[in-house]
Chain A
Amino acid sequence: MQTIPDKNSPDQIRNDALFLGKIPSSPHIEESISVPLLEIRDLTIHFIVHRRVTGPNVVVHAADKVSLFVKRGETLGLVGESGSGKTTVGRGALRLIEPTSGEVFLNGQNILKVHTRKLRDMRRKMQMVFQDPADSLNPRFTCRQTLVDALSHACYGSQDILRKALDLLESVGLNPSDLDKYPHQFSGGQQQRIAIARALAFTPELLILDEPTASLDVSVKTQVTQLLRELQKKFNLSFILISHDLSNVKYMTNRVAVMYLGQIIEIGNTSDIFSKPMHPYTRVLIDSVPVPDPDQKRKRASLIGEIPSATEPPAGCRFHTRCPIRFEICDQKEPHLAKLANGHMVACHLVNSSSE
């Protein structure tokens, strides 16, 4: 059973107004609130892939002690090779997977501690946009059914639903005549627009974008990126942008977290990360971005060897097997994230020892 919200409650009025773009979002008010919108502390997610009767289970360390926060209205980039645990962190934040340990606070409330009913309410404030839009839309639902389903979960009354659905379609740049089409009748870009519209039905505060443009054509990519930026302004959204398109991350984000084998190895303001990357892995990642101007081309560092298996991550620093500048201590002791200036944090023995 869902409670029907009071039409005149301040919350509902604000939502409606935001929805229709009537009131501009006001970053000043938001900034004065000190609690970050989302805070993740020591989030650890292990997948048991094989249970053993004798001896320890075989476990994938998909995320290990991941800590990060997202402020209102900002975009946090989450980058790293595929298999580094980016999606897992996103799903863990929504509690789509039950984390092994850790804490996730949305507006100061721990989502991992709440019970079913409250969990459902909290999830609606964060929405996820998935990598493969074709997979994220129910193939048996028309666009209308998808949106109506979402809007009824967002507690809109039946008289308002159709109007809202049309508003949503308009804000993601689709036509009312698309309402009765099935997902397979749309292009990838249009499917992703529907998925975004569905997420927006909840007037969420945070959108977790899991490689939203990875499966799209180049020209469509820019359109969807542009749409996301417009929507962010219009609805005052915060984003977690999971991506390995670094030029897009540089363009879209305020801060960036770099993941390697389930751990955050560097996090900081986007400008800092791109202008002075500290971790050898971050440097390699950033060097591998194609640079348009040949004069600027830096000496390309490349990684030695393959990414190690996440079932048996290397001891010590997880990156040491591929690190060009490793020294004795690296395969013994695990480096911890150490603070530099401006909230920039790096987990690397070399950087830490030189800054001490």
Chain B
Amino acid sequence: MDQVYPLKRPSIWHVIKVFMRRYDFEIYLLRRNPVTLLGLGIIVLVTLIAIFAPILAPYDPLALTSADRLMGPSAVHWMGTDDYGRDILSRVIYATRLDMVIATSAVSMAMFIGVILGAVAGFFGGIIGEVIMRILDVIQAFPAFILAMALAVSLGSGKMTIIYVVAFIMVPIFARLMRSEILSARGRGYIEAAHCMGASEMEIIFKQLIPNCITPILVQFALSMSYAILDAAALSFIGLGIRPPEAEWGSMVNAGVGYITSGQLWLSVFPGLVMAIAILGFNLLADGMRDVLDPKLRS
């Protein structure tokens, strides 16, 4: 054989190009739907704000200036100041950081645990599968937010509490999704072929099944992010999550509620608005990605 091309070590660009072709279909769907791109744009922006919060924030979010109490939006304080004279824009920027960290950690944790539980339950079935699914049933039998409140009360307030609680109530969603994906993929020919090759069960799960079942999981990730943001904010709003003076969307809205009747709307409106935009971004992205799940489009 004279042709040397495949024997050469392929360049890194070649490897990346080949790898990206694997996601041709997903990329095509994203491009096809401009609203999805809007959602993606919002998420990128919010993420950048979260990462560069210390650079972007014009003031210290915790600095008290009693002379500047309850000032309306102006060129100096774009979103005004709160009842302690803190700059709301700076606080909203830091809150973005905190809420994104909470939501991302919680959903990642839920996804990681859920995917493994679901994969095991789907692949092995039998008694292990039954036990896993029944335990998840029990978790899901409680109304999610009531369960979250109960857990938050017993664990005490704080960032880690919110992360654990939100992750806990989301594990069943990921596990269920993964299980049903695995169940449908398990009977595919390439899995049987892998068995014929003498591949071990763990190898089949991690190398063949999970990579093929991961797309719907990513869609669920985007969707769960919006719920996680909402749950984190709601827990803080009712005083079970992040405690003042730390800046968090939900607790900021809560702090401003008392001033709404007196017309000082900016205390609650700005954090609420930013939170709504972030949630919208994740929802738009998830909605566009949901096409990926449609079996009619798949073929």
Write the residues of chain A forming the contact surface with B, with a CB cutoff of 8 angstroms: 91, 94, 96, 119-121, 123-124, 126-128, 130-132, 135-140, 142, 144, 149-150, 153-154, 162-163, 166, 170, 176-177, 179-180, 182, 195, 198-199, 202
**Which chain A residue shows the least CB distance to B10?**
A180
Q: Knowing A132-B189, A138-B208 touch, does A123 contact B198 (C-beta < 8 A)?
A: yes
| Given A162-B7, A166-B6, A176-B3, residue A138 in contact with residue B190 (CB < 8 A) | yes
Query: Which residues in B have their C-beta under 8 angstroms from that of A119?
Result: 198
CA distance A221 to B197 in the complex (A): 26
Using a CB-CB cutoff of 8 Å, which residues 191-245 of chain B contact chain A? 192-193, 195-200, 207-208, 211-212
Decide: B188 and A162 in contact? CB cutoff 8 A.
no
Least Cβ–Cβ distance between A137 and chain B, in angstroms: 6
Q: Which residue of B lies closest to A132 (CB)?
A: B189
Contact among A136, A162, A198 with B6 in the assembled complex (CB-CB below 8 Å): A162
Closest CB-CB distance, B292 to chain A, in whole Å? 13
Q: Which has the most chain A C-beta neighbours within 10 Å: B1, B14, B198? A: B198
Given contacts A131-B189, A177-B6, 17 further A-B contacts (CB under 8 A): A120-B198, A123-B195, A128-B193, A137-B189, A137-B190, A140-B211, A149-B197, A153-B198, A153-B199, A166-B1, A176-B1, A176-B5, A179-B6, A180-B18, A182-B21, A198-B193, A202-B197
Q: For chain B, which range describes its interface: under 10, 10 to 19, 20 to 34, or 35 or more residues?
A: 20 to 34
Give CA–CA (A193, B207) in the complex, Å: 23
Given A153-B199, A177-B5, does the pair A130, B193 have CB atoms closer than 8 Å?
Answer: yes
A96 to B7, CA, bound (A): 35
- Cβ contact of A140, chosen from B7, B189, B200, B212, cutoff 8 A: B212
Residue ID in chain B nearest A151 by CB atoms? B197
Which residues of A lie under 8 Å from residue B188 when comparing CB positions?
A: 135-136
Across the interface, do A127 and B196 meet the contact criterion of CB distance under 8 Å?
yes
Q: Which 4 A-B pairs have the closest CB atoms?
A: A136-B189, A120-B198, A135-B189, A130-B189
Q: Does B22 contact A (CB under 8 A)?
A: yes
Name which residue of chain A comes closest to B23, CB basis.
A140
Q: Chain B residues near A170: list those with CB within 8 A.
A: 1
> Nearest chain-B residue to A202 (Cβ)?
B197
Q: Cβ of B6: which chain A residues have Cβ within 8 Å of it?
A: 144, 162, 166, 176-177, 179
List chain A residues, Cβ under 8 A from B22: 140, 182
- Evaluate contact between A136 and B193: CB separation under 8 angstroms: yes
Q: List 24 A-B contacts (CB under 8 A).
A: A91-B192, A94-B196, A96-B192, A96-B195, A120-B199, A124-B196, A124-B198, A130-B193, A136-B190, A137-B189, A138-B190, A138-B212, A140-B22, A142-B18, A144-B6, A150-B197, A162-B6, A163-B7, A166-B7, A170-B1, A177-B5, A180-B10, A182-B22, A199-B196
Nearest-neighbour CB distance to chain B for A206, whole angstroms, equals 11
Pick from B5, B190, B197, B212: contact of A124, CB below 8 A: B197
Could you tell me the distance in whole angstroms from the C-beta of A354 to the nearest C-beta in chain B?
43
How far, in whole Å, are A182 and B17 apart by their CA atoms in the complex? Answer: 12
Bound-state CA distance A119–B189 (Å) is 19
B143-170 vs A, CB cutoff 8 Å, 1 = contact: the mask equals 0000000000000000000000000000
Q: Which residue of B lies closest to A179 (CB)?
A: B6
Could you say which residues of chain B place their CB within 8 Å of the CB of A154? 197
Rounded to whole Å, the gap between the CB of A256 and the closest CB of chain B is 24
B198 in complex: contacting residue of A121, A142, A144, A198, CB < 8 Å: A121
Closest to A139 in B: B212
Cβ of B196 and Cβ of A96 under 8 Å apart? yes
Q: Is the CB of A130 within 8 A of B212?
A: no
Please indicate the chain B residues that have their CB under 8 angstroms from the CB of A139 in the complex.
Answer: 190, 212
Assembled-state Cα–Cα distance A132/B1 (Å): 31
